[in-house]
């Protein structure tokens, strides 16, 4: 194959991958625009995706063995763990590079100080579940079984990356977006605690993960969807739509002639409520606050998709247990519980289309929200403290072009000078290392910003940024994916 043909084939595979993902998202966009899927319907889809389809997708992919009567051994990701150990710590480097890019974007676009943390979070924290899994699945399907990318499913290695990333995402993101709380400083002065201890304790206590009122609000009215990319809604308008149940519960308990009760009840429901601040309380110790933060991080990390990956890896370690679910010897679907595994596998396959339909609904709601905001006057934008447009465009360029460039160059240097990966897995392994740099901002950033108590303008700004990134994805993501796929294929 000539160089021109190779480039054309690689670009074609990339365009098909991105095009398939966008087509699936277009279905959700259409259904939302027609009103067939409203806020509650999208929440139901998100719950199905987070709690059932994605966990089963990761679980069954790790255990899966094609029952095609082949005499070749079944793929075993556990045998490759010693060669792909870098994926466990790769999230640290990805987030570090994203933070550097965010600083650069903020300086170049002269982002206001109050929005700088939002810019850093948007650049540092990327989507690592829905879109990467969709792209890797389609890429794997577009290559023949004789090639590395077609022989080894890259999502197997992505499941290893996902073991640490949620902890880093919520730990670093929670610290980065910790709200400024002057009252905590005033209380600490009254108690005459040492400055260093007070500042550390206050920072830990202000971590978005320790926003107990907002967390309780999410648990009750959003059913714990705070920890999944596929479960968040990128429009503030959608959040208000989802609060219909909460509003009806509130209004049913109060009367129109009792404004005092109305105010107190509303404060108990809204995440921004400050009713507890009026009650003096002692400053917690640093040890207790740190323990509380670590517990909250662990609860965010041990979500069903992560549990599905860990369970799959544990079963894959023991061939006799795995052999109960899939036929490893003759690959003839004769395992004792093959029927059970086949059912789980079919359900898991629906993870990709469901998640991309949710993404399409998010993009539709963001478009509607953008149209409404475009009718506002400039003074309304200023009063609501919206994220400036230069900063939003800077995030799009930084996240979709600069960070992919950093990631691709980093992997190229590692491949040339440092890493020695077995030939049978190197293509898929390097593709996963690069693809986590390519995808847009994680929808979880919207959750963190809301928990941090930032202005509606900041939340709507990030929602717009996410929408702009996906709008640019058919072009920018196709280009960066082409480079990543071409390099991964060349290195295999």
CA 46 to chain centroid, in Å, comes to: 13
Residue 245 pLDDT: 44
Instruction: From residue 238, give the alpha-carbon distance in Å to each of 43, 153, 242, 373, 437.
Output: 10, 35, 6, 14, 28
Reported as a pLDDT band with limits 50, 70 and 90, residue 146 is confident
Share of the chain above pLDDT 90, in %: 22
Higher pLDDT, 147 or 419: 419
Average confidence (pLDDT) over 190-212:
51
Among the listed ranges 106-120, 267-281, 364-378, which one has the minimum average pLDDT value? 267-281
Integer Rg of the chain from CA: 24
End-to-end CA distance of the chain: give it in Å, rounded.
Answer: 16
**Res 40: pLDDT:** 77
Nearest-angstrom CA–CA distance, 354 and 48 = 9
Q: What is the mean pLDDT of the chain?
A: 76
Determine the pLDDT at residue 14: 80
For 291-310, the pLDDT digits (tens) are: 766 666 666 667 788 888 88
User: Could you tell me the pLDDT band of residue 476, with boundaries at 50, 70 and 90?
Assistant: very high
- Residue 449 has a pLDDT of 76
- 456 pLDDT band, cuts 50/70/90, is low
Residue 286's pLDDT is what?
54
In tens, the pLDDT along 75-111 reads 787 777 778 889 989 999 999 999 999 999 999 999 9
pLDDT tens digit sequence for 315-339: 988 999 999 999 998 888 889 999 9
Q: CA-to-CA distance for 492 and 427, rounded, in angstroms?
A: 4
Strongest mean pLDDT among 181-185, 455-459, 462-466? 462-466
Which tokens is 289 given? Answer: 């606050």
Whether the pLDDT of residue 184 is over 50: the answer is no
Q: What's residue 268's pLDDT?
A: 40
Give me 390's structure tokens: 């230069």
pLDDT of residue 254: 34
| One-character DSSP codes across 295-351 | HHHHHHHS-HHHHHHHHHHHHHH-HHHHHHHS-SSS-SS-STTHHHHHHHHHHHHTH
Lowest-confidence region among 84-88, 189-193, 195-199: 189-193
| pLDDT the model gives residue 410 | 96
Give the pLDDT of residue 419.
84
Q: According to the model, what pLDDT value does residue 246 have? A: 42
Residue whose C-alpha is closest to residue 88's, from 160, 16, 183, 190: 160
Mean pLDDT confidence for 58-73: 87
DSSP string, 391-437: HHHHHHHIIIIIHHHHHHHHHHHIIIII----TTTHHHHHHHHHHHH
Number of helices followed by number of strands (H, E) in the chain:
26, 0
Per-residue pLDDT at 2: 56
d(CA 432, CA 420): 16
Question: CA 283, CA 187: separation in Å to the nearest integer?
Answer: 7
b/e per residue 150-186 (b: at least 16 CB within 10 A): bbbbbbbbbbbbbbbbbbbbbbbbbebbbeeeeebee
- pLDDT at position 363 over 70: yes
Predicted local distance difference test score (pLDDT) of residue 220: 58
Q: Would you tell me how many other CB atoms lie within 10 Å of the CB of residue 245?
A: 12
Residue among 398, 409, 418 at smallest CA distance from 483: 409
Backbone dihedral angles phi then psi of residue 126, each to the nearest 5 degrees: -105, 165
Residue 226 DSSP label? G
pTM over 0.85: no
- Return the higher-pLDDT residue of 293 and 130: 130
Lowest mean pLDDT: which of 92-96, 219-223, 462-466? 219-223
3-class secondary structure, 55: helix
Question: Rounded to an integer, what distance in angstroms lies between the CA atom of residue 105 and that of residue 123?
Answer: 9
Q: Which of 121-135, 177-191, 202-216, 353-367 has the highest mean pLDDT?
A: 121-135
How far apart (Å, rounded) are the C-alpha atoms in residues 36 and 483?
38
**More confident: 5 or 144:** 144
pLDDT value for 5: 65
367 pLDDT tier (thresholds 50, 70, 90): confident
Domain boundaries, the chain: 3-491
For residues 188 and 203, the answer to whether their CB atoms sit within 8 Å is no
Decide which of 8 and 211 is more confident. Answer: 8
């Amino acid at each position: 194959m000539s160089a021109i043909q190779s480039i054309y084939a690689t670009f074609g595979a990339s365009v098909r991958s991105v095009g398939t993902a966008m087509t699936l998202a277009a279905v959700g966009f259409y259904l939302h625009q027609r009103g067939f899927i409203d806020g509650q319907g999208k929440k139901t889809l998100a719950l199905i995706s987070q709690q059932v389809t994605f966990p089963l997708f990761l679980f069954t992919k790790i255990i899966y063995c094609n029952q095609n009567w082949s005499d070749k051994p079944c793929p075993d990701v556990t045998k490759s763990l010693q060669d792909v150990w870098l994926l466990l710590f790769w999230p640290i480097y990805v987030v570090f590079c994203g933070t550097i890019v965010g600083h650069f974007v903020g300086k170049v676009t002269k982002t206001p100080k109050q929005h700088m943390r939002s810019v850093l979070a948007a650049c540092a924290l990327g989507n690592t579940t829905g879109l990467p899994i969709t792209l890797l699945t389609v890429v794997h399907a577009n290559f023949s079984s004789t090639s590395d990318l077609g022989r080894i499913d890259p999502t197997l290695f992505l499941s290893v990356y996902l073991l640490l990333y949620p902890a880093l995402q919520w730990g670093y993101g929670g610290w980065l977006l910790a709200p400024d709380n002057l009252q905590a400083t005033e209380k600490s002065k009254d108690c005459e605690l040492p400055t260093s201890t007070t500042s550390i304790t206050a920072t830990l206590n202000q971590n978005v993960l320790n926003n107990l009122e907002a967390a309780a609000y999410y648990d009750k009215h959003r059913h714990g969807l705070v920890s999944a990319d596929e479960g968040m809604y990128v429009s503030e308008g959608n959040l208000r739509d989802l609060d219909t149940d909460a509003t009806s519960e509130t209004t049913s308990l109060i009367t129109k002639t009792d404004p005092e009760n109305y105010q107190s009840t509303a404060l108990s429901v809204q995440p921004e409520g400050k009713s507890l601040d009026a009650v003096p309380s002692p400053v917690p110790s640093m040890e207790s606050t740190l323990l509380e933060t670590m517990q909250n991080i662990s609860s965010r990390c041990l979500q069903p998709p992560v549990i599905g990956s860990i369970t799959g890896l544990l079963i894959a370690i023991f061939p006799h247990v795995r052999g109960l679910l899939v036929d490893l010897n003759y690959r003839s679907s004769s395992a004792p519980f093959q029927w059970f595994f086949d059912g789980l596998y079919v359900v898991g396959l629906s993870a990709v289309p469901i998640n991309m339909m949710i993404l399409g609904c998010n993009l539709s709601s963001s478009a509607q929200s953008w149209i409404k905001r475009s009718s506002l006057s400039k003074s309304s934008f200023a009063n609501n403290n919206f994220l400036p447009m230069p900063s939003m465009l800077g995030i799009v360029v930084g996240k979709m072009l600069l960070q992919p460039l950093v990631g691709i160059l980093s992997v190229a240097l590692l491949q040339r000078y440092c890493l020695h990966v077995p030939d049978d897995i190197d293509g898929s392994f390097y593709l996963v290392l690069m693809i986590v740099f390519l995808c847009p901002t994680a929808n979880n950033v919207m959750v963190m910003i809301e928990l941090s108590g930032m202005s509606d303008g900041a939340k709507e700004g990030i929602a717009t940024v996410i929408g702009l990134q996906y709008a640019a994805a058919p072009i920018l993501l196709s280009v960066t994916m082409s480079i990543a796929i071409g390099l991964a294929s060349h290195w295999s």
